[in-house]
Amino acid sequence: MKTLSIQQEAGALVRIDTSNVYDTPLIWKYAHVRTQVEFVDYSAEDGVAVITLNRPPVNALNNEMIADIDEAVRMAEATDIRAVVITGAPHFAAGADITGFQKTFEAGGDERQASGLSEAIARFTNLEKPTIAAINGFALGGGLELALGADFRYMAESAKVGQPEILLGIIPGAGGTQRLARLVGPQRCKELCTTGRQVKSEEALSLGIADKVVPDEELLDLAMSDAAAFANGPTQAYAAVKRAVSRGFDQPLEEGLAIEAEQFARAFASNDAKIGVAAFLAKEKPDFSGT
C-alpha cells in the first residue's frame, strides 16, 4: 500500500472554506482493521467496512484517487464484510479535480477520468451487500455520482448535492444522467443537470436522492448503526434483493417476475433462510451467518 499523502490544493467545482479540514479521519474511532492507500482510508470491524475519502481540502476526484476508491471497493468484496459505508469529511466529494481536465486539453488526449470513475462506481454498486453513502458538506459532480452508486444515501442537514458539470460546458460522465434519472425521474434529472444547481438536504429527501436527513453530528453514528444492523442480517437475501431490483427494473413485468423467482430460489437455498425460518418457529431472534 502507498503511504498517506495530503494534497494542499484541488480544483473542484466549488470554492469552500477549508479551515476546519480534519487532520485525522473521524471514522477511525470505529475501526479495528485500518488500511491507507494514498487518498482513501479503509477500515473494517464486525463485518462493516468504511471507505473514507481523504484528499483534503475538498476530496476533489483525480485519477489517482479514483484508483484508490476502486482498490478500497475491491477490499470490501471480501466475504467477511457484510455492509459498507462510504463517506468523507468535512465534504463527501466536491467533484472532479478540474486541473486534470486542463492537462488533458493541453496534451490533446482522451479524457479518462470519467470512465475510470464509472468503472469504480459500477464495482461499488455491484457489491453483494448493503451500502450506505454518508454525505457531509458537498457531494457534487462525480461526488454525487459516487453516492448514487450506494444503495442508500444519508445526508447531514447542512449537506448539498448537485450535478454542476454543465457550468463547465460538459455533462455528467460517470452515471449522473442515468442513476439520477432513475431516482428522481427524467424531467427532474434534466432540470438538475441543465441548471447545475445545488440541492439542499431537505429537497434531496423530497426528491428521493436522500433516504435520510439527520443533524450533522448524528450522520456518521446513524450510518454506522444501520450498517451494523445490516452486517448482522441475512446477507444472501440482501444480495438477492439487489440483484432482483437492478436486473428486473427496466424489464417487462413477466421477465422481472422471472428474475425475482430466480433470486427467491437463491435466497431460499441459503443457510440464512434455514436459520430465519427455524428462529421464527422457535419464536427466537435469528442469528444470521451471512451465508
| 48-53/40-45 β-pairing | antiparallel
Angle at 234 between CA 232 and CA 236, to 5 degrees: 130
143 membership: H or E segment, kind and range: helix 142-148
Please give the sequence-ordered ranges of beta strands (E in DSSP) within the chain, or none if there are none: 33-36, 40-45, 48-53, 83-88, 131-135, 138-140, 152-156, 160-162, 199-200, 212-214
Is 128 catalytic? The answer is: no
Q: How many other C-beta atoms can be found within 10 angstroms of the C-beta atom of residue 62?
A: 22
**140: which strand partners?**
162
150 and 132 Cβ atoms separated by less than 8 Å: yes
Catalytic residue among 38, 64, 71, 145, which? 145
Is 165 catalytic? The answer is: yes
Catalytic residue among 9, 77, 165, 284, which? 165
CA dist 266 and 166 (Å) reads 43
Closest C-alpha to 55, from 106, 121, 99, 115: 99
Widest pairwise Cα distance in the chain: 69
The residues assigned a catalytic role are 145, 165
